[in-house]
Amino acid sequence: MGRSRSLAQVYRRFGEVDAAAVSPLSERIVVALSESGEALRAIEAAPARKRHPTVILAALHDLALAGRAPALAAAYAAVDVDAAAGAAIDTLVRMTDAVVELAVRRPARSDETGHGAVLYPAVAEAARRAGAQAVGLIDVGCSAGLDLTVDRVGITYGNGQSLGDPSSPVQLSASIVGDRSVPTHSIPEVVARIGIDRDPIDVTDADDVRWLRACLWPDRPERRARLDAELALAASVPPLLLRGDAVEMLPDAIARVPADALPVVTTTWALSALPLDARLRFLHRLADAATDRPVAWVSVEGVGVAPAIPTLGDRRASGHSIIGLAVFEQSALRTDAIGRCWSRGRLLTWLANT
């Protein structure tokens, strides 16, 4: 009884605090689950680490999208919060095994879109500094590899600047903080797109794509539309996906970039999941790979997370991230903090002299 009460408190708090700010439908569902003894017992059939509301909500959403929970799907489509709450409890109780199977097999994905507004100028700057005419993109913690299409999106900044492809089906926007403009260099030809993830999402696999959609709030159609556009763009140039540990797979990924192209490794809020010793090994692997060729690393990480990238005197957990650029060439290493960003890249300030 104590465990169920604790789980109920977790769900109620998630509904009233986390979900309430962005998804009234999910708020109602999660609070209803917290008040249902049957639902809580069904959730407890999952391993403890797979009972979090984000995972259970995604599993329920996946069943609805797959046509296996039609009443829940209809409630989602109608944005009927009361019907959705009842259908979610019913689906969870009737299909406990299916919900648990999905929760165990699939990690919850946030897959925030829109990183291109930060990554595009940083990747272009890496190529400029290395004098590269072609690049190979390597995204660590890639999930679905959406950041690997950075050269094919269009970006408009709040100061009127634009980068990328104005005719792209994926159009991003970001605000500029401060007076300095982002550089106008273009990303050169991309000759390789490689993603590294422990459990990557294949954008050409219907089940994988459905799970990614299931991880979105069901009553946020604008996010669904944006994700669908990015998935379609990624599927038009499917990346090579390497499954495994980022540190261990990095040399193999770099070796797959043609010799006449600059490998540009990107990490966007991926390194914080690694302990410090693994982050240091990641840095050393980059340096080792640069013995025979230049290698660049673009990082968008919290203050102090990316080793060797200057923190500019900023405090950790300060609410913003540092845009870092490291260029490795034989024994030389140049690292810079080239910008700061907020709101997962939707606001940024450029710092580097270009």
Q: What is the DSSP string of 61-121?
A: HHHHHTTS-HHHHHHHHHT-HHHHHHHHHHHHHHTHHHHHHHHHHS--------THHHHHH
Rounded Cα–Cα distance for residues 306 and 298 (Å): 10
Model confidence, pTM: 0.91
Grouping H, G, I as helix, E, B as strand and the rest as coil, residue 146 is helix
pLDDT tens-place values along the chain, 354 residues long:
456 669 999 999 999 999 998 999 999 999 999 999 999 999 999 999 999 999 999 999 999 999 999 999 999 999 999 999 999 999 999 999 999 999 999 988 875 667 999 999 999 999 999 999 999 999 998 788 899 999 999 999 999 999 999 999 999 999 999 989 999 999 999 999 999 999 898 999 999 999 999 999 999 999 899 999 999 999 999 999 999 999 999 999 999 999 999 999 999 999 998 999 999 999 999 999 999 899 999 999 999 999 999 999 999 888 899 999 999 998 789 999 999 999 889 999 999 876
Q: Do residues 172 and 227 make contact, with C-beta atoms less than 8 angstroms apart?
A: no
Q: Distance between CA atoms of 265 and 107, rounded to whole angstroms?
A: 24
The answer to whether 91 and 63 have CB atoms below 8 angstroms apart is yes
